[in-house]
Amino acid sequence: MASTGCSSLPIEAGELLDARGLKCPLPVLKAEKRLAELPPGATLVVLASDPIAKIDIPLFCMQQGHQCTTSQQEGSMRFVIVKAAA
Distance, CA of 24 to CA of 42 (rounded, Å): 24
Catalytic positions are: 24
Buried residues in 51-72 as b, exposed as e (16+ CB within 10 A): eebeebbbebbeeeebebebee
pLDDT of 8 reads 45
pLDDT at residue 14, as a whole number? 82
Question: Which is more confident, 11 or 54?
Answer: 54
Residue ranges of domains in the chain, CATH in brackets: 7-82 (3.30.110.40)
Indicate the pTM of the whole model.
0.84
pLDDT tens digit sequence for 56-78: 999 999 999 999 999 997 889 99
